[in-house]
Amino acid sequence: MSLLFKSDLFPEGVYGLWHTSEPDEYFLENMEIYSDERAEFDKLKSSKRSEWLSSRYLLHLLSQRSIRGACKKDEYGKPYLENSPYFISISHSADYTAVIASSKLVGIDIQVITPKIERIISRFAKESEYAQYNSLLHYHVIWGAKEAMYKAYGKKSLDFKKNMHVESFDYKSEGFFFRGYVEKGEIFQNYTLFCRQFQDLILVYAIEE
């Protein structure tokens, strides 16, 4: 088993992190894959199959249901669980998989810490969002927050720099809450954000307020 952690959400939900060290056969032998899912899986490149399998396995593990719910995608490519009232989101980085399920619209992002983020921060964030910081960790929080809000919004067509804003925060590796919002035309949506560091990973999730 490679479940690194799982945590409950308030008022209702759960998220978790998985490190994939198992061969694909482990997942194929330990969970049912439905026919329409198999069609999607068979089209994937071999490098993406482990991500696909680990995310579906982790979703089912966290659900604690005896029968696994099929994971499908809507017209915008956002994943959802068939016959479930929960909204879900999935993220991958290196050999890690994170998933989240909530009674509210939700998004999650994980990213292995990399120096590259410093070179591209101005591409996805306004200067007012990052000028007060001088740390790779802070830049990763901003990136993760915007990725998570993008997934929670779920309808694509958002400019990371123009349509999403991350409010200031005090970084704490053990975890902290902060806020952000999406603004596009007549749309204005606030999100509660949470970040925690796990080893060399930054994890951020967004829940619609």
pLDDT at 179: 99
Domains belonging to the chain, first-starting first, are 3-103 (3.90.470.20), 109-208 (3.90.470)
Q: Give the model's pLDDT for residue 47.
A: 86
Question: What torsion, rounded to 10 degrees, do the Cα atoms 119, 122, 127, 133 define?
Answer: -30
Q: Which residues contact 97 (CB under 8 A, 6 or more apart)?
A: 17, 18, 20, 51, 54, 55, 58, 90, 91
Rounded Cα distance between 199 and 208, Å, is 27
pTM of the model: 0.96
Six token digits for residue 47: 């490098």
Length of the chain: 209
Tens of pLDDT along the chain (209 residues) come to: 599 999 999 878 999 999 999 999 999 999 999 999 999 999 999 889 999 999 999 999 999 888 899 999 999 999 999 989 999 999 999 999 999 999 999 999 999 999 999 999 999 999 999 999 999 999 999 999 999 999 999 999 999 999 999 999 999 999 999 999 999 999 999 999 999 999 999 999 999 99
What burial letters (b/e) apply to 114-152, b meaning 16+ CB within 10 Å? Answer: eeebeeebeebbeeebbeebeebebbbbbbbbbbbbbbb
Dist. CA 132–CA 30, nearest whole Å = 48
Asked if residues 186 and 196 have their Cβ atoms less than 8 Å apart, the reply is no
